[in-house]
């Protein structure tokens, strides 16, 4: 089907873009900026026309901040996910389905590729070429519906099932952390046992709860879980995993985490927002180094972007499409967020999110037993602590990001984040006076419902 | 041994319509279909009286009456009450003995029923509180587009594109539809999306009970051609063409059971 | 013929809240507990009065609880939160300390909400999801030690292992007697119904344990006198139903009353508020860890994921109980947003289909608005299994 009315990158941008840095991949290969430009202007519009939609509120559309190289490179990495992951897997790297908002150091240390639900969805999406926006969304809905049929209509998180069991995606292992962040995850892992794909290995990385980081036995237990995890992935990858492998990976991932923290602090310090909300989120997430299925690629883009952000902040350059003094929103809750384009049109901007940031901003001790260090760091995620501790950390982020208001957003069917929503918001209001609002998101299409966005816009007007 | 003619009636009182079928000698003799009112007893009687009037019979002429549908629990005119699941199975089997799977979409619920060669229920599943795929849901959608309920199907079949609908909950689908209209999507394309979303959701019931050919589509929604097409696509089946109004299948099954019960009780031979 | 002891138990339950108040005035403390893996013997051995928090069936309290937790929590959890908010339940009013476990993560969240909004003293026992690993068992043992330590702090005394041994012996006797009584309800010419046994089991959540054991012995003696040797066999016209799935706590009788009103006979269950937690609990070592491991090694709760279908002990136990009680159909009951069970509904149905056991899924909440819809489903299911049991054809065809 011929697609018309697609977005095109301005040709005059080519020279400037091609002068930027290459993306370095984990396997030693690289993509020059010219390669990226060629793919994004010649190939991807044909293979993935949905991303080039002109619908201005479509969540999947390309960022229009075209002078920020990371905006284009991030999309390049997302749109090449299928090509890259398929190739890496053929070269012997097992692919493991994990949870969002968790670190992935041990998976890579053992020679695997860790993909969270959204990344698995991106990989699956890449296998269906030539689809326009509506066709792509219909495809996703059909897949999701199949998972609902096999699991439960009240399931929130089904990405693993719909793609691995119903979509034939060749994932080798399902092994997420079972933290309180999402109670569906461990049931979702279990659901694979009755699916048609019997080849996929299953494992829960059991996350202890309640003052977990202060309990030596809980840290020890989680470290044992991590050891079992690396051992199992090592078997799939055909290698023995040493403590040195994990130590090396922790150091690499710490670099990403530090860089994301520095980038965030720069961004937050600026008088004028240096990027739009979509690009800001992408930059912060690159610090988790799991979003593209290739930590090295994420790191090279983040390193380069850090310099650009620094320059924009120093020179007082504001991102395109953002108002001068936007209302600054911080988003809490589960793995969803309001439509940035609509938020920015209403004169606001999302400055941060607790989801993912909780793990990205948690550095791991580099000296000593890497399993114990990693276990302790993971059990310290602020997102997974008691409400008072989580609220204290959130308040710290609110202050750093100079947020004017807090939106607590959770996905329909999310049991555990929805249950903490009021407690967290009440604590934030009690301790800071910052206004908060709790919203439930029902399953989104390419855009969010007017009902949800009306509430968000009213909140922005109130602020 | 009785030499008189034997008539058997089934009365199915649903949330939107009350239906009645009178059977004689294995043939449909007369039918009645009226909108349901607040009083389910009165609705059932109205449907029965309409069928009797059409047949030129009096209630006393009936050998046995079986009540079904949600109104079966208060049907003083009936000799026995049986659930509509059992009745739809019997009704479909009576019309088409090769039918093994029934999709019933009525005013307030939808059902997936698998049956055997005798029309006995082997397994069934029903939607929960969610109104997706019900007549009530489609009534709401007809209201949003300001078209007649019976025109929804044809309008959706005129679509040039399928607009994705993420919600099949009546309240949220209404809100989402209004959003899509506001964004300039064409009504036919949105309706196409709605019908496909419902069909996909309904196919979940079949993930529970399985699906075996032939497939029969009963209930008031079965008259909606857009829904029929969407279900055929979602389930990858061909739905058999009904010989009578598919909305009458429950009442027909009840009449078949009336005949069987009364025979077993020795009321005729 | 009515069982006299059941009347005595009903009367004692009415008197119990006032009795608890007096006991508290004399210095005793009441621990309200909830969670599949809470080792109640430890609570009892420390001199506390254990009261189980298992209340349901009140849609108003669900609504109240949802204001503090969320509408996406299961109705049981919301009602528990609502109960603490309203503080009108005569048993809940008497609780001094709460003990929750993390078997179900929504239960864990409920503990946090109750602690935060109602300023209750809550102890939480961590439960491993990898409960079948040796490392998981070791972790749980240490959590049990910590659980005991936190209770000791509140009791002001150290746990006496001799008392723990006595507590284990008492609870073992209760479990054994309950199992014997349970067999009678499923038998031919039964004088006690499943519903009566179900109520009897739940009475144990609230009564004094020693008195409860004595009442169970009296009930059993009465049953033996009236029914002699219970023989479990199928009568084609019964519609023998087994209830599986989410818990049915005190106060929630909607499903049970509909099943019986449409002519079904309940003969067994594997629910958390029924017989299941009392089966196969073997305590090999008298210590907090030893008791806790006994709990963990029982048939696991559905909230604890098990990754191999073929060796799943929960499904094995379900098959075993279906055979033992000669059930003809399973009502798989799930409460709204009860993920541990809703995620397994289709799988359970598929697994039982291989053994030609029909399953009806019932997904409900505490509101009465779906009463008629449930009645239709359950009536049709009972019709279906009766037809099947009588070799089809002749009843209706």
How would you write A199-220 as a 3-class SS string? CCEECCECCCCCCHHHCHHHHH
The rounded percent of chain A whose pLDDT value lies above 90 is 77
Q: Specify whether the CB–CB gap between C147 and C323 falls below 8 A.
A: no
Q: Specify whether the CB–CB gap between C3 and C191 falls below 8 A.
A: yes
Contacting residues for B19 by C-beta, under 8 A, at least 6 apart: B11, B12, B13, B31, B32, B33, B47, B69, B247, B248, B250, B251
Gap from C245 CA to chain A (nearest CA, Å): 14
pLDDT of residue A1: 42
Fold: same for B1-96+245-269 and B98-242: yes
CATH architecture of the domain formed by B1-96+245-269: 2-Layer Sandwich (3.30)
Q: Specify whether the CB–CB gap between B174 and B168 falls below 8 A.
A: no
pLDDT of residue B177: 83
Please determine, for residue C370, whether its predicted confidence score (pLDDT) is greater than 90: no
Coil, strand or helix at C93: helix
Q: How many CB atoms lie within 10 A of CB A399?
A: 12
Q: Specify whether the CB–CB gap between C311 and A159 falls below 8 A.
A: no
Mean of the pLDDT values across residues C128-138?
A: 98
pLDDT digits (tens, 9 = 90+) for C146-181: 999 999 999 999 999 999 999 999 999 999 999 999
Q: Label residue B15 by pLDDT band (50, 70, 90).
A: confident
pLDDT digits (tens, 9 = 90+) for C47-90: 999 999 999 999 999 999 999 999 899 999 999 999 999 999 99
pLDDT of residue B243: 87
Q: What values do phi and psi take at C307, rounded to 5? A: -95, 0
Instruction: Give how far Cα B144 sits from Cα of A48, B130, B147, B192, C228, Å.
Output: 34, 19, 8, 14, 67
CATH ID of C14-160, from 3.60.110.10, 3.90.1150.150, 3.40.50.11890, 3.40.1190.20: 3.40.50.11890
pLDDT digits (tens, 9 = 90+) for B77-109: 999 999 999 999 999 999 999 999 999 998 888
How far is Cα B21 from Cα B35, in angstroms, rounded to an integer? 15
Chain B residues within an 8 Å CB radius of C375: 73
Please compute Rg for chain B using Cα positions.
Answer: 19
Mean of the pLDDT values across residues A84-107?
A: 96
Which chains does C contact via 3+ CB–CB distances below 8 A? Answer: A, B
Q: Label residue C16 by pLDDT band (50, 70, 90).
A: very high
Of C373, C381, C393, the CB nearest to B118: C393
Please determine, for residue C2, whether its predicted confidence score (pLDDT) is greater than 80: yes
| Dihedral sign (CA A192, A198, A204, A205) | negative
pLDDT of residue C393: 41
Q: Label residue A311 by pLDDT band (50, 70, 90).
A: very high
At what angle are helices C75-86 and C59-68 packed, to 10 degrees? Answer: 90
pLDDT of residue A444: 59
Structure tokens at A338: 């309001």
Beta bridge partners of B114: B101, B123
How far is Cα A115 from Cα A132, in angstroms, rounded to an integer? 25
Q: Label residue C396 by pLDDT band (50, 70, 90).
A: very low
Q: Specify whether the CB–CB gap between A151 and A191 falls below 8 A.
A: yes
pLDDT of residue B229: 93
Please determine, for residue C391, whether its predicted confidence score (pLDDT) is greater than 70: no
CA neighbor of A445 nearest in space, from A136, A47, A3: A136
pLDDT digits (tens, 9 = 90+) for B170-227: 666 777 888 888 878 899 999 998 898 888 888 888 888 899 999 999 998 899 999 9
CA neighbor of B195 nearest in space, from B129, B267, B145: B145
Largest Cα–Cα distance of chain A, in whole Å? 61
pLDDT of residue A166: 87
B199 in contact with A, Cβ within 8 Å: no
Of A155, A206, A228, the CB nearest to C129: A206
Mean of the pLDDT values across residues A93-103?
A: 95
Instruction: Give how far Cα A85 sits from Cα of A24, A96, A120, B8, Å.
Output: 15, 11, 10, 67
B171 in contact with C, Cβ within 8 Å: no
Q: Label residue C234 by pLDDT band (50, 70, 90).
A: confident
Q: Label residue B132 by pLDDT band (50, 70, 90).
A: low
By DSSP bridging, strand B215-218 and strand B101-105 are: parallel
Coil, strand or helix at C311: coil
pLDDT of residue B130: 65
How far is Cα B143 from Cα C122, in angstroms, rounded to an integer? 52
The rounded percent of chain A whose pLDDT value lies above 70 is 98
Q: Percentage helix, strand, coil, to 5, in chain B?
A: 45, 20, 30
Of residues B64 and C237, the one with the higher pLDDT is B64
Give the up-direction half-sphere exposure of residue C59: CA atoms within 13 A in the CB hemisphere.
9
CA neighbor of A176 nearest in space, from A219, A229, A220: A229
Coil, strand or helix at A352: strand
Q: How many CB atoms lie within 10 A of CB A322?
A: 20
Mean of the pLDDT values across residues C208-233?
A: 95
CA neighbor of C103 nearest in space, from C273, C304, C340, C291: C304
Structure tokens at C386: 């009766």
B94 in contact with C, Cβ within 8 Å: no
Please determine, for residue A2, whether its predicted confidence score (pLDDT) is greater than 50: no
How far is Cα B47 from Cα B67, in angstroms, rounded to an integer? 12
**Complex confidence, ipTM:** 0.95
How far is Cα C361 from Cα B208, in angstroms, rounded to an integer? 9
Please determine, for residue A66, whether its predicted confidence score (pLDDT) is greater than 70: yes
The residue length of chain C stands at: 397
Domain boundaries, chain A: 323-353+386-463
Whether A134 sits inside 8 A of B164 (CB atoms) is yes
Mean of the pLDDT values across residues A383-400?
A: 97
Peptide bond into C166 cis (omega under 30): no
Please determine, for residue B241, whether its predicted confidence score (pLDDT) is greater than 80: yes
pLDDT digits (tens, 9 = 90+) for B44-77: 999 999 999 999 999 999 999 999 998 888 889 9
pLDDT digits (tens, 9 = 90+) for A411-439: 888 899 999 999 999 999 999 999 999 99
Whether C361 sits inside 8 A of B85 (CB atoms) is no
Gap from B157 CA to chain C (nearest CA, Å): 32
B123 in contact with C, Cβ within 8 Å: yes
Q: Label residue B257 by pLDDT band (50, 70, 90).
A: very high
Helix or strand (DSSP H, E) at A410: strand A405-411
How far is Cα A419 from Cα A423, in angstroms, rounded to an integer? 8
Q: Label residue B1 by pLDDT band (50, 70, 90).
A: very low
Domain A323-353+386-463 - what CATH class? alpha beta
Mean of the pLDDT values across residues A73-87?
A: 97
Of A187, A221, A419, the CB nearest to C343: A187
Query: What is the 8-class DSSP label of residue A267?
Result: H
Interface test with A, best of B200, B209, B231 (most A CBs within 10 A): B200
- Angle (CA) A131-A137-A142 rounded to 5° is 105
Mean of the pLDDT values across residues C105-125?
A: 97
Mean of the pLDDT values across residues C241-266?
A: 96
Average pLDDT of every residue of chain A:
93
Instruction: Give how far Cα A350 sits from Cα of A64, A234, A383, A393, Å.
Output: 17, 40, 19, 18
C116 in contact with A, Cβ within 8 Å: yes
Number of H helices and number of E strands within chain A?
20, 10
Q: What is the pTM of this model?
A: 0.92
Query: What is the 8-class DSSP label of residue A442?
Result: P
Q: Specify whether the CB–CB gap between A233 and A96 falls below 8 A.
A: yes
- Angle (CA) C194-C197-C203 rounded to 5° is 145
Distance between alpha carbon C78 and the CA centroid of its chain, in Å? 17
Q: Specify whether the CB–CB gap between C52 and C118 falls below 8 A.
A: no
Distance between alpha carbon C271 and the CA centroid of its chain, in Å? 6
Average pLDDT of every residue of chain C:
95
How far is Cα C94 from Cα C86, in angstroms, rounded to an integer? 14
Q: Specify whether the CB–CB gap between A230 and A209 falls below 8 A.
A: no
Q: How many CB atoms lie within 10 A of CB C210?
A: 12
Of C346, C372, C397, the CB nearest to B70: C372
CATH ID of B98-242, from 3.40.630.10, 3.40.190.10, 3.40.718.10, 3.30.420.40: 3.30.420.40
Chain C residues within an 8 Å CB radius of B83: 376, 379-380, 383
Gap from C19 CA to chain A (nearest CA, Å): 34
Nearest residue in C to B263, CA atom: C397
Nearest residue in C to A414, CA atom: C72
């Amino acid at each position: 089907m011929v697609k018309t009315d697609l977005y095109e990158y301005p040709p005059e941008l080519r020279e400037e873009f091609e002068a930027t840095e290459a993306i370095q991949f984990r396997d030693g290969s690289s993509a020059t900026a010219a390669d990226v430009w060629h793919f994004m202007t010649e190939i991807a519009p044909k293979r993935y026309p949905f991303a080039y939609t002109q619908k201005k509120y479509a969540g999947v559309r390309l960022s229009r901040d075209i002078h920020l190289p990371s905006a284009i490179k991030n999309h390049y990495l997302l749109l090449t996910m299928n090509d890259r992951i398929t190739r890496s897997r053929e070269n012997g790297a097992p692919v493991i389905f994990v949870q969002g908002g968790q670190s992935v150091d041990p998976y890579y240390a053992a020679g695997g590729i860790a993909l969270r639900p959204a990344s698995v969805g991106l990989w699956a999406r890449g296998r269906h070429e030539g689809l326009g926006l509506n066709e792509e969304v219909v495809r996703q809905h059909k897949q999701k519906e199949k998972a609902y049929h096999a699991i439960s209509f009240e399931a929130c998180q089904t990405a693993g099932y719909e793609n691995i069991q119903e979509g034939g995606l060749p994932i080798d292992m399902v092994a997420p952390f079972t933290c309180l962040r999402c109670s569906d995850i461990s049931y979702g892992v279990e659901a694979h046992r009755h699916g048609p794909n019997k080849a996929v290995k299953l494992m829960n990385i059991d996350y202890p709860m309640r003052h977990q980081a202060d309990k030596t036995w809980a840290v020890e237990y989680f470290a044992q879980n991590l050891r079992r995890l690396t051992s199992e992935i090592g078997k799939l990858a055909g290698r023995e995993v040493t403590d040195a492998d994990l130590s090396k990976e922790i150091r690499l991932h710490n670099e990403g985490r530090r860089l994301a923290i520095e980038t965030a602090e720069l961004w937050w310090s600026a008088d004028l927002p240096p990027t739009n909300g979509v690009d800001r989120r992408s930059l912060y997430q690159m610090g988790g180094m799991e979003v593209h299925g290739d930590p090295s690629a994420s790191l090279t883009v983040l390193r380069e972007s850090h310099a650009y952000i620094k320059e924009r902040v120093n020179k007082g350059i504001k991102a395109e499409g953002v108002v001068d003094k936007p209302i600054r929103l911080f988003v809490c809750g589960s793995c969803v967020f309001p439509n940035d384009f609509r938020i920015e049109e209403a004169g606001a901007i999302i400055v941060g999110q607790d989801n993912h940031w909780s793990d990205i901003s948690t550095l791991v001790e580099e000296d000593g037993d890497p399993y114990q260090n990693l276990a302790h760091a993971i059990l310290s995620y602020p997102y997974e602590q008691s409400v008072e501790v989580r609220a204290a950390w959130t308040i710290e982020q609110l202050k750093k990001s100079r947020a004017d208001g807090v939106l607590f957003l959770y996905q329909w069917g999310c049991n555990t984040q929805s249950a903490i929503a009021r407690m967290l918001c009440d604590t934030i209001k009690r301790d800071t006076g910052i206004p908060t609002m709790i919203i439930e998101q029902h399953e989104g299409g390419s855009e969010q419902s007017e009902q949800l966005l009306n509430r968000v816009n009213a909140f922005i007007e109130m602020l | 041994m009785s030499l008189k003619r034997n008539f058997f009636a089934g009365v199915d009182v649903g949330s939107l319509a009350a239906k009645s079928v009178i059977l004689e000698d294995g043939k449909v003799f007369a039918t009645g279909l009226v909108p349901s009112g607040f009083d389910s007893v009165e609705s059932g009687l109205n449907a029965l009286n309409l069928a009797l009037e059409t047949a030129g019979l009096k209630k006393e002429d009936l050998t046995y009456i079986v009540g079904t549908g949600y109104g079966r629990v208060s049907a003083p005119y009936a000799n026995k009450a049986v659930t509509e699941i059992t009745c739809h199975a019997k009704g479909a089997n009576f019309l088409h003995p090769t039918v093994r799977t029934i999709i019933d979409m009525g005013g307030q619920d939808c059902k997936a029923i698998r049956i055997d060669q005798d029309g006995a229920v082997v397994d069934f599943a029903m939607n929960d509180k969610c109104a997706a795929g019900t007549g009530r849901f489609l009534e709401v959608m007809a209201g949003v587009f300001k078209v007649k309920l019976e025109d929804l199907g044809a309008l959706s079949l005129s679509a040039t594109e399928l607009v994705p609908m993420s919600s099949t909950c009546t309240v949220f689908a209404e809100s989402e539809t209004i959003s899509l209209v506001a964004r300039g999507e064409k009504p036919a394309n949105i309706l196409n999306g709605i019908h496909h979303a419902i069909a996909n959701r309904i196919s979940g019931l079949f993930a529970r009970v399985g699906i075996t050919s032939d497939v029969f589509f009963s209930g008031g929604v079965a008259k909606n051609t857009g829904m029929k097409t969407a279900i055929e696509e979602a389930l990858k089946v061909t739905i058999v063409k009904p010989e009578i109004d598919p909305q009458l299948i429950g009442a027909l099954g009840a009449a078949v059971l009336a005949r069987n019960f009364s025979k077993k009780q020795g009321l005729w031979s | 013929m009515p069982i006299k002891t059941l009347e005595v138990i009903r009367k004692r339950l009415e008197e119990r809240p006032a009795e608890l108040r007096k006991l508290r005035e004399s210095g005793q403390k009441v621990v309200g507990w909830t969670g599949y893996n809470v080792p109640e013997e430890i609570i009892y051995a420390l001199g506390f009065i254990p009261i189980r928090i298992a209340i349901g069936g009140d849609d108003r309290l669900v609504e109240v609880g949802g204001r503090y937790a969320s509408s996406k929590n299961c109705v049981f959890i919301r009602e528990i939160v609502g109960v603490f908010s309203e503080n009108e339940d005569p048993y809940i009013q008497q609780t001094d300390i709460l003990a929750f476990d993390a078997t179900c993560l929504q239960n864990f969240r409920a503990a946090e909400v109750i602690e935060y909004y109602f300023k209750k003293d809550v102890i939480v026992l961590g439960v491993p999801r990898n409960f079948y690993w040796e490392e998981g068992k070791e972790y749980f043992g240490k959590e049990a030690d910590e659980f005991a330590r936190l209770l000791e702090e509140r009791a002001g005394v150290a746990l006496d292992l001799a008392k723990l041994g006595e507590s284990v012996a008492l609870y073992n006797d209760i479990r054994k007697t309950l199992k014997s009584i349970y067999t009678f309800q499923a038998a031919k010419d039964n004088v006690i119904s499943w519903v009566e046994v179900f109520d009897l089991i739940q009475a144990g959540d609230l009564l004094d344990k020693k008195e409860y054991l004595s009442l169970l012995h009296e009930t059993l003696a009465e049953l033996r006198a009236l029914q002699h040797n219970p023989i479990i066999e199928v009568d084609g016209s019964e519609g023998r139903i087994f209830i599986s799935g989410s818990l049915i706590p005190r106060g929630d009788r909607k499903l049970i009353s509909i099943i019986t009103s449409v002519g079904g006979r309940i003969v067994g269950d594997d629910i958390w508020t029924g017989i299941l937690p009392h089966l196969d609990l073997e305590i090999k070592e008298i210590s907090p860890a030893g008791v806790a491991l006994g709990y963990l090694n029982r048939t696991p709760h559905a909230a604890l994921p098990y990754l191999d279908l073929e060796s799943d002990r929960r499904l094995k136990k379900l098959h075993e109980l279906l055979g033992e009680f000669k059930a003809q159909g399973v009502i798989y009951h799930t409460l709204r947003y009860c993920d541990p069970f809703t995620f397994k509904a289709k799988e359970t149905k598929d697994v039982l289909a291989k053994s030609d056991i029909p399953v009806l899924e019932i997904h409900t909440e505490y509101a009465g608005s779906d009463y008629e819809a449930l009645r239709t489903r359950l009536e049709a299911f009972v019709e279906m299994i009766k037809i099947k049991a009588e070799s089809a054809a002749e009843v209706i065809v």
